[in-house]
Chain A
Amino acid sequence: MAGVRVLVGTRKGAFVLTSDEGRRDWKIEGPHFAGWEIYHVAGSPIDPDRIWASQSGGWFGQVMQHSKDGGQTWDAVGNDFSYATQAGTHQHYDGTLKPWVFNRVWHIEPSLTDVDTVYAGVEDAALFKSTDSGTTWNELTALREHGTGPEWQPGAGGLCLHTILLHPTDENRIFTAISAAGAFRSDDGGGSWLPINKGLLSGEIPQQEAEVGHCVHKIAMHPDRPDTLFMQKHWDVMRSDNAGDQWVDVGGDLPTDFGFAIDVHAHEPETVYVVPITSDYLHVAHEGRLRVYRSRTGGNEWEPLTKGLPQEHCYVNVLRDAMAVDKLDECGVYFGTTGGQVYASPDGGDTWDAIVRDLPAVLSVEVQTLA
């Protein structure tokens, strides 16, 4: 049956939401791993029944789970994310140096070409790779050991590697983003990394145009145009058309360009979605109205999408990994809120409905399009 499977990570467990192509009637399963923080759940683009979940908590640390049956059953896999070399130091919030300490896995990115290969972005920021479905993890050390590492500092959530983008045709090209260090690109499969932050301006660091230190919240790419990247930064929505070598501000007429989530329409590489959040001090929907903004022009010109979304007294946030799109003919758009709602639009954002309203705070939303 064609349809979609929405993988939701929350503060207190994971949920799996499924629907047919109509995306109006939903089956809700969960919580899986009840009581644990599920920062991310992601499925293989090769075999959608292969799914990984990052399960963590302050008491008992990190567990990684793997399902081979689309989330029906799960088995714990490897959870040793020891840094492969001496950990070194990065900046703490107050600018003092702090040793690198593993805390949790923020983001899982299954390979586009090998069903047993999966990447993990962790806090304190580092990139790990598994080639055995998560049984063992090996750090790609060149990123953490980048010479700028001592200048990286944690964002509010920690020094987290939250974005991993794999080039659709060049296995050696990987993009990552770290809060608050910035964006990095590897052209040799993770053997070396180039900071790609030119054009970013950040008032929260002493040198606004610094090579690193920018609080990048999320980067999105359309697979048909892998040199074009869209970024939601702390403040500013940015665009690059040369694989991150240079960024330009495309916030345009957004009511506020602070936010966390960003994604690109599955079939229209110039159609981009963001959820404006009031400010860095007010992590709530702008003006108490939950609005997704859509640009059909690759940025600068944005339209509010409000049908079916609360337009008064709404003070939720939408976190960086909590927006996704499906690949059905009429692209569906999904996002989850810190208030526990998961919204779906089966028509590219024109209309919205809540799949579920009272989950724990949503940390991540991924969508699998099922044949």
Chain B
Amino acid sequence: MTRVVLPYHLKSLAKVDGEVEVEARTVSEVLDALEAAHPVLRGTMRDAAGKRRPFVRFFACQEDISHTSYDEALPALVLAGSEPLLVIGAMAGG
């Protein structure tokens, strides 16, 4: 299982605490699985056309993977469940 950490507002929307676990090997699959399990998240991380929202970023293993292909396999440590995929609201609050 892939562990996912959602930001505060998305946890509130999805009504979940802590980490979420999904069956997924890529960012695309993570988003598909999250949206399937929590339809309220549709449109919050990527728009209706599938484009990542500008203030959303994806971090894994201390790397920003927001700009890599979302069909690439996630880092091995994430796939192994040792590290989570972090969904981050960009630091834009001032």
Contacts and interface: CB of A to CB of B under 8 A. Distances in A.
Interface string B78-94: 00000000000110100
Contact of A80 (B8, B43, B45, B55): B43
5 contacts: A36-B9, A59-B90, A59-B92, A61-B47, A76-B39
B92 A58 contact: yes
A80 B40 CA distance: 11
A36 B44 CA distance: 12
A60 interface: yes
Interface class of chain B by DSSP: loop
A35 B7 CA distance: 12
Contact of B8 (A35, A61, A79): A35
Given A36-B9, A58-B92, A76-B13, A63 B53 contact: no
Interface string A29-40: 000011110000
Contacts of B10: 60
Contacts of A61: 43-44, 47, 53
A63 B48 contact: no
Contacts of A63: 13, 40, 43-44
A79 B42 contact: yes
Contacts of B40: 63, 76
A82 B50 CA distance: 12
Contacts of B48: 80, 82
Interface in A35-76: 35-36, 57-63, 76
A35 B13 CA distance: 11
A36 B7 CA distance: 13
B5 interface: no
A60 B47 contact: no
B92 A60 contact: no
Interface residues of A, number: 15
Chain B, interface residues (CB within 8 Å), range: 20 to 34
Interface in A6-39: 33-36
A346 to B, nearest CB: 35
Interface of B: 7-10, 12-13, 39-40, 42-45, 47-49, 53, 55-56, 89-90, 92
A60 B56 CA distance: 7
Nearest to B10: A60
Contact of B9 (A59, A76, A79, A82): A59
Contacts of B53: 59-61
A76 B15 CA distance: 11
4 shortest interchain CB distances as A-B pairs? A76-B40, A60-B44, A59-B89, A59-B55
Contacts of A36: 9
B90 A79 contact: no
Given A35-B9, A63-B13, A76-B13, A58 B55 contact: yes
Contacts of A60: 9-10, 13, 44-45, 53, 55-56, 89
Contacts of A35: 8-9, 12
Nearest to A33: B12
Nearest to B89: A59
Q: Which of B13, B42, B43, B92 has the most CB of A within 10 A?
A: B43
Nearest to B39: A76
Interface string A65-100: 000000000001001101000000000000000000
A76 B13 CA distance: 8
Nearest to B14: A76
Contacts of A57: 9
Nearest to B55: A59
Contacts of A62: 43
Nearest to A101: B47
A61 B12 CA distance: 14
B7 to A, nearest CB: 8
A57 B13 CA distance: 13
B8 to A, nearest CB: 7
A61 B10 CA distance: 11
